[in-house]
Amino acid sequence: MLNVISSETLLSHTQNFSCIGHEDLPLNQCTNRILAKDIVATENIPTFKRSTMDGYAVQAVSTYGASESNPALLFIKETIDMGTPPRLPVEIQEASKIATGGMLPDGSDSVVMIEYTDPVDPQTIEVYKSVAPLQNVIDVGEDISIDSIQRKKGDVLRPQDLGAAAALGIQKLCVYEKPIVGIISTGDEIVPISQAPDIGQIRDINQYSLSSQIIQNGGCPVFIDNVPDDFDALFAACKKGIQSCHMLLISGGSSVGMRDYTIDVIQKLEGAEIIAHGVSIQPGKPTILARLNNIPVWGLPGHVASAMIVFHVLVRPFVRHLSGELSPPFYSNQTVSARLIRNVSSGQGREEYVRVRLEQSEGTINAIPIQGKSGLIRTMVQADGLLTIPENSEGLEQGVLVDVILL
């Protein structure tokens, strides 16, 4: 018999595993990777006052009161070359020509846009509008101030984070390694997709759908083997898997049926501790989680839709945890609110995941439950998402708004 625990209890065990190693990667390989060390600013950005406009660097006081009818007359000191420091300071009633991105000369504190000036002669301009100190200027440290923490350990790296690292001259970031997740497909009737199945045989689907789920969640899938329903063969594949992987998924044979060897094999692996054999979710009840040192070893149902749903609901948070993600941002649930188009009943005492298709109709999004057994890949291909019926509920009524987890 299964010894069933709730999904919540199972998920609390993520905390008993520690994240794996880290590596230093060049910025152009860091997109979507997870930071293993804070990004701390070692300097001010910019290191000098920069102009944000084409115009003239001035002391703001030189422009006070300037208007169309009463322009300020300023003496042109120099034209500032880009990328080099200005040669001359700007005193009162002086101006130096500057382009966007240029460095302000000593004495100046603001930039008058070129649109508000007119040349009088080669040495003189008229200014028609006053500026305030720091107007049209990025001040020293205004973008990034020295010692500030830009991003924290555990954050997923976005384009702008890599931009901030580049601004600081950081060429490599320390990110967590991708967890290597081994997959073993079990079943006497399962053949590799490269082989034509005989009558009574079917192709190995789970290897491909699980690999792709692993990739989408930042892991690195490795296929270990296709094994028949045989204790010794599965034991050998598991030994191989735990030597090279940070996590192991065994698809098929996780229940207590005639050909289910997964639990026996895991129990024989030295140091393995069974955390769950049975989780109160539907589909996916016959799921096994064991811990072998820091390796989560999973027995997943062989039914293709069940295996995918168990991955999404239970395995995924472990992959993310091993990858070093602390917790995803609260707004990134990837759920969509939709109206349920018919009643869905559910057995009490188990959390139920219903595959749904989403459809847009007159400004609302409808969630349409998909019929079909959990052994059908079609039900997942047709599904846009999953809705959850909680453990203590008997079902959901037509018309209610539900949060659909996008697949």
Q: Which of residues 118-157 bind a copy of itself (CB under 8 A)?
A: 138, 142-144, 150-151, 157
Q: Are the CB atoms for 322 and 17 separated by under 8 Å?
A: yes
Q: Are the CB atoms for 153 and 36 separated by under 8 Å?
A: yes
Q: What are phi and psi of 267, to 5 degrees?
A: -60, -30
* Stretch 81-120: interaction string toward a copy of itself, x if CB under 8 A: xxxxxx------------xxxxx----------x------
Residue 404, beta-bridge partner list? 336
The DSSP element (H or E) to which 225 belongs, if any, is: strand 220-227
Q: Which stretch binds a copy of itself (CB under 8 A): 1-9, 15-23, 317-325, 369-377?
A: 369-377
Residue 347 DSSP code? -
Does position 220 interact with a copy of itself (CB under 8 A)? The reply is no
Closer CB to a copy of itself, residue 82 or residue 132? 82
* Stretch 166-185: interaction string toward a copy of itself, x if CB under 8 A: xxxxxx--------------
Q: In angstroms, give the least distance from the CB of 220 to a copy of itself.
A: 11
Return the residue of 6, 14, 93, 209 that touches a copy of itself, per CB under 8 A. 209
Q: In angstroms, give the least distance from the CB of 386 to a copy of itself.
A: 12
Helix (H, G, I), strand (E, B) or coil at 216: helix
Does position 365 interact with a copy of itself (CB under 8 A)? The reply is yes
The DSSP element (H or E) to which 112 belongs, if any, is: strand 110-113
Of 20, 2, 13, 8, nearest to 247 by C-alpha is: 20
Does position 369 interact with a copy of itself (CB under 8 A)? The reply is no
Of 260, 236, 244, nearest to 295 by C-alpha is: 244
Return the residue of 42, 67, 212, 267 that touches a copy of itself, per CB under 8 A. 212
Q: Are the CB atoms for 17 and 290 separated by under 8 Å?
A: no
Closer CB to a copy of itself, residue 10 or residue 338? 338
Return the residue of 9, 124, 160, 364 that touches a copy of itself, per CB under 8 A. 160
In sequence order, what DSSP letters do the residues of 250-305 get, joined into one string? EES--SSSTT--HHHHHHHSTTEEEEEE-BSEES--S-EEEEETTEEEEEE-SSHH
Does position 211 interact with a copy of itself (CB under 8 A)? The reply is yes
Q: Which stretch binds a copy of itself (CB under 8 A): 243-251, 262-270, 277-285, 375-383?
A: 375-383
Helix (H, G, I), strand (E, B) or coil at 395: strand
Q: In angstroms, give the least distance from the CB of 56 to a copy of itself.
A: 12
Of 286, 281, 288, nearest to 350 by C-alpha is: 281
Q: How many residues belong to the site for a copy of itself (CB under 8 A)? A: 104
Closer CB to a copy of itself, residue 9 or residue 195? 195
Closer CB to a copy of itself, residue 9 or residue 337? 337
Does position 363 interact with a copy of itself (CB under 8 A)? The reply is no
Report the alpha-carbon distance of residue 83 to residue 350 in Å, rounded: 66
Closer CB to a copy of itself, residue 8 or residue 81? 81
